[in-house]
Amino acid sequence: RGPEQTRARCGMGAFIPDPALQTTLTSADLHQCVISVPPLCRDAALKVSAGENAKVIRHLEAGGVSTLLYGGNANFYNIALSEYAEVLDLLAEQAAAETWVVPSVGPYFGTMMDQADLLKTRKFPTAVVLPTVAVSSPDGVRGAGVTFVAAAGIPAARYVTDGGAGAARGVS
C-alpha cells in the first residue's frame, strides 16, 4: 500500500477500497492518521448501547476519522470479561469496512491472556495494552506484552503513562 492509499485511508482524500485495510495496520499508518478515542456508550442499566455507539462511530466516520481506539476513554479497564466478546463484536459490526477498530486489553496479565483468546478469533489489526501502576516491573510488563502478542496473534502497542514499569521497551 502506497502513501496515497494511506492518506486516503486516513480521511485525507478519496478512499481507495482495499479489503485488507481493516485488518492490516503498520506503525507508519498510525503516524499518518487521526486516532479517535471515543467513549463506550452504556444505557441507564449499564448495558453497552448499540444505538448510541453506532451514533458516535457514524459521527466520527462522517468527519473523515477512520481509526477508533477504545481504551481509557471507553473505560475498557472496567469491561467484564463476560462482556468483552460482545463489545468486540458490536464495535466490529458497527464500524465501516474501511475503519480500523483498535480495542484495548488488560491491564492485568490474567485478564489480558483471556482477552487474547477472544481477540485471536476476530479480525482486529492490533490492540493496546492498558497501563497499570499496580505491582509491576519493566521486565514483567515487557514479558506480559510479548506473551500477549504471541497468544493473540496480533501486534500490540503499549499505552505509557509514566516513566516507570509502563515504559518498558521492546514489546511488539
pLDDT digits (tens, 9 = 90+) for 77-124: 889 999 999 999 999 999 999 899 999 999 889 999 999 999 999 999
Three-class secondary structure of residue 159 per DSSP? coil
Rounded to whole angstroms, the Cα distance separating 2 from 66 reads 18
Does the pTM of the predicted model rise above 0.85?
no
H or E element, residue 127: strand 127-129
Angle of CA points 14, 73, 35, to nearest 5°: 20
pLDDT the model gives residue 163: 57
Rounded to whole angstroms, the Cα distance separating 70 from 49 reads 15
